[in-house]
């Protein structure tokens, strides 16, 4: 079993498992394209100059190092961050996990959810994404940004909350009769 199946308890099943929307990768891809284009232009310019013997090699190493820093900082780190975000809705809870070396997460039991809201602007609607806001019984509302198909996730999570409340009401009525 892979993540998140390893974290499930008995009789719990996954309803939704997604990552942050792919629109979070637009800026890193833009930076890698622009950074690589600038690096190639700088490399060609440096090759056209009459440098001393050691100077040309030094300039090329500096350009390559700068390009590598841009690739790691503005592309690799955001892509890895995106790839390690998990938003999971199960029959019992909502889980959010993030991180590679230092992992963090939060679990919200479905039975403790009071309100489920979503919000998305015009750009979010074009990309079919948005912010999901969950208010639980004891905590401040939690916002999960860039959730793909946020309206569908909202309705499915609301359905789970409703089903859980109906099950609790049924159990309460059954226990009072006995």
Q: Residue 17: its pLDDT value, please? A: 93
Cα–chain-centroid distance for residue 28? 14
Tens digit of pLDDT per residue, the chain (178 long)? 457 777 788 889 999 999 999 999 999 999 999 999 999 999 899 888 887 778 888 888 999 999 999 999 999 999 999 999 999 999 999 999 998 888 899 999 998 998 999 999 999 999 999 999 999 877 689 999 999 999 999 999 989 888 877 665 545 555 555 5
Phi/psi at 141 (5° precision): -60, 140
Half-sphere exposure (CA, 13 Å, Cβ side) for 175?
A: 6
Tokens describing residue 13: 């099943």
Sorted by where each begins, the domain ranges of the chain are: 5-20+87-177, 25-81
| pTM attached to this predicted model | 0.77
Contact 82, 10 (CB under 8 A): no
Q: Residue 166: its pLDDT value, please? A: 67
Q: Residue 1: its pLDDT value, please? A: 43
User: Is the CATH number of domain 5-20+87-177 2.30.29.30?
Assistant: yes
DSSP state of 73: I
**What are the CA-CA distances from residue 62 to residues 43, 57, 58 (Å)?**
10, 9, 6
Q: Residue 50: its pLDDT value, please? A: 84
């Amino acid at each position: 079993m892979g993540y998140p199946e390893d974290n499930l308890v008995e009789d719990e099943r996954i309803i939704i498992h997604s990552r942050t929307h792919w629109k979070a990768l637009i800026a890193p891809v833009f930076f890698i394209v622009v950074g690589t284009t600038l690096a190639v232009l700088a490399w060609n310019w440096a090759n056209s100059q009459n440098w001393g013997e050691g100077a040309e090699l030094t300039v090329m190493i500096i350009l390559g190092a700068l390009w590598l820093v841009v690739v790691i900082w503005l592309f690799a780190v955001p892509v890895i961050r995106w790839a390690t975000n998990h938003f999971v809705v199960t029959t019992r809870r909502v889980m959010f996990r993030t991180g590679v070396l230092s992992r963090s997460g939060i679990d919200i039991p479905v039975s403790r959810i009071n309100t489920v809201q979503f919000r998305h602007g015009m750009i979010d609607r074009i990309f079919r994404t948005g912010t999901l806001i969950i208010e639980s019984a004891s905590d401040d509302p939690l916002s999960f940004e860039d959730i793909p198909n946020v309206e569908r996730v909202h309705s499915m999570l609301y359905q789970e909350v409703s089903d859980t409340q109906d099950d609790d009401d049924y159990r309460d009525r059954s226990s009072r009769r006995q």
